[in-house]
A and B are shown apart, each in its own frame.
Chain A
Amino acid sequence: DVKVTQSSRYLVKRTGEKVFLECVQDMDHENMFWYRQDPGLGLRLIYFSYDVKMKEKGDIPEGYSVSREKKERFSLILESASTNQTSMYLCASSDGTDAYEQYFGPGTRLTVT
């Protein structure tokens, strides 16, 4: 059974703190993604990675960075959290087949106060 896990379901941080969100997949997928989801805006891609140590910017990378040291783990880092980064953060992984199906984790609801 496909499994993507995220380190926290709920997180509350203060403005200016450094925040780490961890994502782990057990499907040996090459591709991993970080999205944020806000009401009325759908999911927006922050960063994605095609392979270990490789990363590509998505549509809204400002204020975020990522790390992929191992194939199964993809971390999202908020260098200095701000209130406009309060959101639902979703991690996904996919294989490299034609269908390129994505599998999502349960999400992390981050609140920055």
Chain B
Amino acid sequence: TQLLEQSPQFLSIQEGENLTVYCNSSSVFSSLQWYRQEPGEGPVLLVTVVTGGEVKKLKRLTFQFGDARKDSSLHITAAQPGDTVLYLCAGRDNFNKFYFGSGTKLNVKP
């Protein structure tokens, strides 16, 4: 059983569509991070959210941390083929250990 449930596991959409990826847990986290990972490469940090209810924007990407700091979402507006990667969420507990979701593999078709 994963501490962080990430959904959906796979997502295939047309260019220009919007999408949301979810990261849910029954545990409270000190912070939550989102990464993107290209095939054969290490994850690259996109954003860290720390405060409950926090919203951060990175161009067409919007990240939200739940009020109770148990869940998070990543929303992409007007998806482009360059968004085709694996997205990972990771929560940090009070002992500074990280727990990763299983990832969302996004495919944006031109």
> B78 to nearest A CB, angstroms?
27
Partner of A106, one of B4, B31, B41: B41
Q: A42-B88, A101-B33 are in contact. Are A107 and B97 (CB under 8 A)?
A: no
A-B contact count (CB 8 A): 59
Q: Which residues 73-110 in B have Cβ within 8 Å of A in the complex? A: 88, 90, 92, 96-103
- Cα separation A4 to B44 with both chains bound (whole Å): 11
> B43 to nearest A CB, angstroms?
5
Q: A106-B42, A107-B40 are in contact. Are A101 and B48 (CB under 8 A)?
A: yes
Pairwise interchain contact B90-A43, C-beta atoms closer than 8 A: yes
Q: A105-B42, A106-B42 are in contact. Are A98 and B50 (CB under 8 A)?
A: yes
Total number of A residues with any Cβ neighbor in B under 8 Å: 26
Pairwise interchain contact A42-B40, C-beta atoms closer than 8 A: no
> A3 to nearest B CB, angstroms?
12
Pairwise interchain contact A43-B88, C-beta atoms closer than 8 A: yes
Closest chain B residue, CB of each to CB of A98: B50
- Cα separation A5 to B30 with both chains bound (whole Å): 27
Q: A100-B92, A100-B96 are in contact. Are A42 and B45 (CB under 8 A)?
A: no
Pairwise interchain contact B43-A104, C-beta atoms closer than 8 A: yes
- Cα separation A113 to B101 with both chains bound (whole Å): 29
Pairwise interchain contact A58-B101, C-beta atoms closer than 8 A: no
Task: State the 7 A-B residue pairs at the shortest beta-carbon distance, nearest first.
Answer: A104-B42, A42-B102, A43-B100, A42-B100, A99-B48, A107-B42, A104-B43
Instruction: Please list the residues of chain B having a beta carbon within 8 angstroms of any beta carbon in chain A.
Output: 2, 4, 6, 9, 30-31, 33, 35, 40-45, 48, 50, 88, 90, 92, 96-103
Instruction: Please list the residues of chain A having a beta carbon within 8 angstroms of any beta carbon in chain B.
Output: 4, 31, 33, 35, 40-45, 48, 50, 58, 90, 92, 98-107, 109
